[in-house]
Structure 1
Amino acid sequence: MGAPVLQWLVRALCGSGVGLAVLLVAGCGFHLAGQHPLPEQLQSVYIDVENPYGVDVPPLQRALARRVVRSGGKIAPDLQTARSVLRLSHLTTAQETIAIGPDGRSLEYQLITSVDYTLAVNGKVLLPTETQTISSDYSFSTQQILAKEEEQSRLQRYIQDELAELILMRITAQLSQLPPPAGATAAP
C-alpha cells in the first residue's frame, strides 16, 4: 500500500469514528450544559418579577431569559403576547458568616440566594409556588479585599445562573409529570 492510500484510509477511519461517536451521543439524549430542550409550555414565556424596590432587571431574570433563548424558546415582551408566565417573587440574596478567626474577624462567608416561582399557562396556574435556594461558600481576607470582592461578585453571577438552570430543570421535570391536556394525543 502506498503512503497516500494509507493516509486516506487513516483519515476515513478517524472521520467515521468521530461521526459515529457524535451520532451515538446525540442518540442517547445527551445535551451540552444549559442546552436542555424546553417543554412546549415554555416556548413563549414572559418572566414576571415581583421586585418592588428594584430599579434594574434582576440578574436571575436575565439568566433565565438567556437560558430560555439558548434552548430555543422566546421571551414574550409582555403578558398579553405570552403563552406562559413565569412569576418570580421573594427574591432574596443574603451573606452569612460561617467562620470567624481568633481575632473576631470573618474568615468565610456563605452566599445564599432564594426565590419563589410559579408557572401559569394561558392564565391558569399550572405549577404552584415553589421555592429554590442555592448557596455557596467563599473565604475572605482583609489583605486581599479587592480580589475577594471580585470573587464574591463572580460567585453571585454563578449562583444566579445556576439558580436559573435549576428552575428550568425543575419546571421541565414537573411538566413532564402532568397529564396531557384534554384533546391532546399521546406521543407514540
Structure 2
Amino acid sequence: MVRQWLGRAALFSLLLLAGCGFHLRGDTQLSPLLERTYLQGVVPYSDLGVGLKRSLEAYGVTVTSVPAEASAILSVTYNQLQRQVLSVGATGKVQEYALKYVLQFQVTNPKGEILLPSQQLELMREYQFDERSVLSAGEQEALLREVLQEEMVQQILWRLEALPPTLNG
C-alpha cells in the first residue's frame, strides 16, 4: 500500500516537473570566441591559475601562453583574498573570522573589443577561531581558502557560459 502510494507520488512529481518545462542542464558549451584563451593577470601556478586552466581545458578551450595566438583574453584585474575579524570576545581575543575573496575580470578579443564586460565577484566564508587549537584553526582557514578558490573558478565559468557564440550575437 505504502509502496504503491510512493510510486504514484513519484510519478506525479515527474509529470509536474516535465509539465513546467524543467530539465537538467546537461552538457554546456563555452562560446567559440573562447576557443584559444590567454589568461592575463593570473599567476600560472597559483591555485586560481591552475584551477582556471584545468576547468577551461575541460570545456575544450585551449589555454595559450602567447597573447598573440589567443582568440580571447581573460584579464583578472583585481584578485584579493583577505581575512577579517568578525567578532571579539569579552577578553578582547578574536573568536570569529571571515575570509573574503574579491575578484574582478573581463574578457576581450585581441583587438581590445569587449566580449564580456568587467565582472566583480565576491565570496565570503566565516569560521570560528579557537585560540586553544591554533593548529586546527589554521588548517580550517587553509581549507576554506581552497574552497573559495574552487568556487571562484566556478563563478567565472558560469559567467563565461553566458557569452554569445559570435561577437555580434
Same fold (TM over 0.5): yes
Deviation digits for residues 66-104 of structure 1 (CA, Å, limit 9, x no counterpart): 211122222112101111110001211111111212211
Matched, 1:47 2:39: yes
Match of 1:150 among 122, 139, 156: 139
4+ residue runs of structure 1 moved beyond 4 angstroms?
none
Q: Is the 8 A contact 1:50 1:90 kept in 2?
A: no
Unpaired stretches in structure 1, ≥5 consecutive residues: 1-27
Matches within 5 A, 1:116-131: 116-123=104-111, 124-131=113-120
CA distance in 1, matches of 2:126, 2:35: 35
How far 1:138 moved relative to its partner?
A: 1.0
Q: Is the 8 A contact 1:92 1:113 kept in 2?
A: yes
Match of 2:51 among 63, 73, 79: 63
CA distance in 2, matches of 1:137, 1:82: 38
TM norm structure 2: 0.76
Give the match for residue 74 of structure 1.
62
Point out which structure has higher relative CO (alpha carbons under 8 A, 6+ apart).
Answer: 2
Give the match for residue 151 of structure 2.
162
Q: Is the 8 A contact 1:109 1:139 kept in 2?
A: yes
Unpaired stretches in structure 2, ≥5 consecutive residues: 1-22
TM norm structure 1: 0.69
CA distance in 2, matches of 1:159, 1:169: 15
Q: Describe the shift of the 1:181–1:170 C-alpha distance in structure 2 as closer, same or farther (beyond 3 A).
A: closer
Q: Describe the shift of the 1:143–1:36 C-alpha distance in structure 2 as closer, same or farther (beyond 3 A).
A: farther
3-state SS of paired residue (1:104): coil
State, as a whole percentage, how many aligned pairs show the same letter: 20
